[in-house]
Structure 1
């Protein structure tokens, strides 16, 4: 047995890192970057409007494909 082999522990060593403090700091930075005027409800309304626009005015083939994706659970049911 070489000297390198004898330096290795016989059993696995438990290793853990607590990132709780880092995560709280990261979230604080995100909220600071969003600003005090950020309104999550308004953001969700804007997303819903964007989806409504995206899926409006579909031709017959597009509508059939959209309906099949909704039925398969790929896209959420709207309305």
Structure 2
């Protein structure tokens, strides 16, 4: 016969705050990007790529794109985002 002793009283609660480690990790990522990393230029390039990706859509493709934006599948027009039309 197996007897369930109930909750174990010898367990000790354990928690760890990873805030410092997360800050260190982020600092390492920024350091690895190097001094020449330009976030504004990267954003401009991303916006240009987004605009190019959705340029030249025919009418049906534009309709499907609009439907996907409305459904939240694709990002819509937001401040700082290049036009997709």
* Alignment TM class, shorter chain as reference: 0.7 to 0.9
Alignment of 1:1-79 (within 5 A): 9-10=8-9, 12-78=11-77, 79=83
User: In structure 1, how many angstroms separate the alpha carbons of the residues matched to 2:38 and 2:32?
Assistant: 13
Higher helix fraction (1 or 2): 1
Query: Which deviates further from its counterpart, 15-24 or 42-51?
Result: 15-24
**What TM-score results when the alignment is normalised by the length of structure 2?**
0.70
Alignment size in residue pairs: 73
Offset, 1:15 = 0.8
Offset, 1:20 = 2.3
The runs of 5 or more residues in structure 1 that have no matched partner are none
Name the Cα RMSD after superposition.
2.2
The runs of 5 or more residues in structure 2 that have no matched partner are 78-82
User: In structure 2, how many angstroms separate the alpha carbons of the residues matched to 1:25 and 1:71?
Assistant: 39
Tell me the SS of whatever aligns to 2:72.
coil
**What TM-score results when the alignment is normalised by the length of structure 1?**
0.74
Offset, 1:13 = 2.5
